[in-house]
Amino acid sequence: MSTMKFCRECNNILYPKEDREQKILLYACRNCDHQEVAEDNCVYRNEVHHSAGERTQILQDVAADPTLPRTKSVICANCKHGEAVFFQATARGEEGMTLFFVCCNPNCGHRWRD
């Protein structure tokens, strides 16, 4: 069973990161330089499906997450706010990763693809 790992330096969540040169799996902090080698080279992939009502709360949580990267170089088409969170994910029914943006305006929460 997989459990969440936390950074020893700043207590943020550690995320899986592949080291292709050494061919190992690491857990890395997005807030500082802390990394640690994973005990197992397998990461479980969650297949999460949400209803439309649940998606609204999830997008607000994503926009408020301080560990996700932010950009001020894209303008929201919905409310014209100038800051967005971005992340890569697999779009349903598609192969490969897609870049998604979520508007940081708490009254908007608009999501779009790159």
> Is 7 known as a binding-site position?
yes
> Is 76 known as a binding-site position?
yes
> Is 42 known as a binding-site position?
no
> Is 104 known as a binding-site position?
no
Q: Which residues of 83-110 are buried (b: 16+ CB within 10 A; e: fewer)?
A: ebbbeeeeeeeeeeeeebbbbbbeebbb
| Residue ranges at the known binding site for Zn(2+) | 7, 10, 29, 32, 76, 79, 103, 108
| Residue ranges at the known binding site | 7, 10, 29, 32, 76, 79, 103, 108
